[in-house]
Structure 1
Amino acid sequence: MDNGLTHDGSVFINFRRYVSDPKEHGFRWVDIKQLRFSAEAVDDRGALAALIEHEQFRDDYAGGGVLPDGPRHGPYWLRSITPDLYEPMSQERAVQILREWVDPLWDVPTALEADLQREVFARLAAADGIYCLSDLGDEAIHDWGRVHDHFHEFVLIDRSAGRVTLIVAADD
């Protein structure tokens, strides 16, 4: 348990697994971290603060995995991220951003579409609150943070399931 959140599992969807030519959308992936919270958990901003403080948030998403004392989160210095930088977002807008990232001109393989539907889009549909990390600007990017071409981050709060889900969709 860490700040009222308990890591409850992760899912990693690597697009490379679904394509025959890795150069064709082979460097895209979605990382999903699920955390449970207690029934007496605080409001959404408090849940976002607890997530930012959780060790699972200390992931550079560049192959190093979670570093419990790490100073990075994705392309950003961890110290640059606060709950106020997460903007509330509608399910429709979140789906639009992710669908545009997946690429509407690409014939998405059936197995990948099924996995995205189950692991990403169904979670968006069930969430009571959806938050998107704002673009933090150049000053927040860490020393080698530009390894990601695209970096989309959503935090889903599902109160009925007692779950906070961190979804990162990126390509490198």
Structure 2
Amino acid sequence: MENLLTYEASTFVNFRNYKFRAPRSHGYRWVDLKHLRFPAESGQAQELLSALIGHEQFRDDYAGGGVLSEGSRHGPYWLRLVTPDVYEAISRERSAYVLSGWVNQFGDLPAELEADLQQEVFDRLAAADHIYCLSGLGDEAIHDWGRVHEHFHEFVLIDRSAGRVTLLVAADD
């Protein structure tokens, strides 16, 4: 099923690359987006979620190791416990609300960061036909050092008109 999706590109928005007015005392924050193409005749969302989970680009611990083709971790979770069933359909409004809350939790952002987040995150949410959120998998799903992230938000955006699945992870550590 991995052949259903073709890796296209990644975008990484690193909050440390922007000049904040006041020094930030919170952790390292970032948004990672992985874009994968799918053919027009692709099936239902569950099929696309399954193909995404099976794709090499999904094997990323988001803790500096990058994508590991034989990796056993996905973010803070054991890869084997991430299935299409743990993704919950979520509205554009709810996903934007969750991400806005996380983005703005420490106050105002530099204008350049706001503009980049609008383009890379919020415009993509608005364009998606379907959005899925990785729901809390519980303590048993967290791998041996998976608590490195203070916050870990994951969304899968399906944009059929563009033929693209975007894996969006927003986290801090």
TM-score under structure 1 length normalisation: 0.96
2:35 matched to 1:34? yes
* 1:91 alignment partner in structure 2: 92
Unaligned segments of structure 2, at least 5 residues:
none
Alignment root-mean-square deviation, CA: 1.5
Say whether the 8 Å CA contact 1:130–1:154 is kept in structure 2: yes
Say whether the 8 Å CA contact 1:28–1:170 is kept in structure 2: yes
Distance 1:104 1:139 in 2: 28
2:87 matched to 1:75? no
Residue deviations 1:45-102 (CA, integer Å, cap 9, x gap)? 1000000000000000000000011000000000000101100000000000001101
**Runs of 4+ displaced beyond 4 Å:** none
Question: Aligned ranges for residues 17-166 of structure 1 at < 5 Å?
Answer: 17-20=17-20, 23-25=24-26, 27-103=28-104, 106-166=107-167
Structure 1 residues 161 and 2: alpha-carbon distance in aligned structure 2, compared to 1, 3 A threshold: same
Residue deviations 1:105-159 (CA, integer Å, cap 9, x gap)? 5111100000000000000000000000000000000010000000000000000
Instruction: Name the % identity.
Output: 69
Distance 2:144 2:152 in 1: 16
Distance 1:53 1:22 in 2: 40
Amino acid of the structure 2 residue aligned with 1:46: E
SS in 2 for 1:167: strand
Unaligned segments of structure 1, at least 5 residues:
none
2:3 matched to 1:3? yes
Distance 1:14 1:105 in 2: 15
**Offset at residue 104 of structure 1 (A):** 5.0
TM-score under structure 2 length normalisation: 0.95
* 1:14 alignment partner in structure 2: 14
